[in-house]
Amino acid sequence: MSARLSGRLARLLNLVPYFQAHPGISAVEAARDLGVTPKQIMDDLNQLWVCGLPGYGPGDLIDLSFSEDSIVVTFTAGIDRPLRLTSTEATALLVALRSLLEMPGVVEPAAAQSAIAKIEAAAGTAATADTPDAGPAVTENPVAGRVRDAVRRGRALDLTYYSASRDTVSERVVDPIRIVLIDEHTYLQAWCRTAEGVRLFRFDRIDDATVLDEAAQPPQRALTGDEHLELFEGDPALPAARLRLDPGYTWLLDYYPLTDVEVFPDGSCEAVLRYASRDWMVRLLVGLGSGVTVLAPADLVSAVRSRAGEALAAYAALDAAEPPA
């Protein structure tokens, strides 16, 4: 499921109990509370209006009375009834909660562990027999805890961050927007004041974080839509390498932000990879070996050839230093 769809699904699931707790609230007030636009609230309400229990007859659908001035839930289609989990559902939920504990910043460990204990107690041995032993209690990384706290309280952050693509560590002040899970990694989505744009910061690359005594104030345009959830966005200001990938190396397309891909009949392809640090790019290409050929620019071709020659010379020197068998 895409990040955009999963984010909307989570919001839709929360809307019915939210509007039950705030009868008559306006779309503007709800949008402010939920961190979206009034238009998004109205779009979500129109979607909820055609949702409900299987069968989807007139008496099964969620019913609402809503306008931009007032929103009231008139029929919940059973969403407010206590949930009864089967043993299979309880097992799946336990596995999911334990997986979330391993993702830094997603949940508060104490809260997740409390939920696990309650589900185990309610479901009994039927649901816990097939789940692995939870082991010792999980403690949260202090840095991840501070980031999550800043998101919860709406505070700006001073980050020390390692950028893999640039191979540098930098300090920057950011205005947190939310925490997202993409491709099994946790990211802080935030407005970076240095770059003046929305950026994703991977939790395991945040070396340090200080919560500032000022409110996070991302621009309104940063809060609308999910287009900023792409992990890699091409920066035309960065140099671009034109690469040829042998058929056995096309897996790189899934791991690096390669663009302008041209596939050939033999299964090989050519693509463009932008980079900020030439040293990082040279190390990457030399490490990949003969399966990837640099076609341009000329200075990168020369640097890769030179580094590969140095590596071969070092191996030759080692061979020469070894005594004959």
Alpha helices, H only, the chain: 3-21, 27-34, 38-48, 87-101, 109-123, 125-128, 142-153, 220-223, 278-288, 298-321
Q: Taking 50 as the threshold, does the pLDDT of residue 231 lie above it?
A: no
> In the structure encoding, which two tokens stand for residue 125, read together?
């041995």
- Tens digit of pLDDT for each residue in 125-183? 545 555 555 556 667 788 888 998 898 899 999 999 987 666 678 899 999 988 887 76
CA 312, chain centre distance (Å): 40
pLDDT value, residue 114? 82
Whether 293 contacts 258, CB under 8 Å: no
Q: Which of 100-109, 159-168, 243-252 shows the highest mean pLDDT?
A: 243-252
Whether 203 contacts 190, CB under 8 Å: no
Kindly list the distances between the CA atom of residue 166 and the CA atoms of 131, 172, 254, 276, 306, in Å, as whole numbers in the listed order.
Answer: 41, 15, 19, 5, 21
Mean pLDDT across the stretch 259-279?
87
Instruction: State which fold the 3-75 domain adopts.
Output: Arc Repressor Mutant, subunit A (1.10.10)
Backbone angles phi, psi at 85, to 5 degrees: -90, 140
Average pLDDT, the chain: 81
Whether 189 contacts 198, CB under 8 Å: yes
Residue predicted with more confidence, 248 or 104: 248
Residue spans per domain, the chain: 3-75, 87-128, 142-229, 240-320
pLDDT value, residue 86? 76
Residue for token pair 């809060």: 223
pLDDT value, residue 84? 73
pLDDT value, residue 227? 47
When pLDDT is cut at 50, 70 and 90, the band that residue 1 belongs to is very low
Of 153, 159, 239, nearest to 194 by C-alpha is 159
Instruction: State which fold the 142-229 domain adopts.
Output: SH3 type barrels. (2.30.30)
Rounded-to-integer distance, Cα 271 and Cα 97, Å: 39
Rounded-to-integer distance, Cα 156 and Cα 129, Å: 44
pLDDT value, residue 73? 87
Q: Which of 50-64, 129-143, 199-213, 273-287 has the lowest mean pLDDT?
A: 129-143
- Tens digit of pLDDT for each residue in 37-87? 889 889 888 888 888 777 766 677 888 888 889 999 888 877 777 667 777
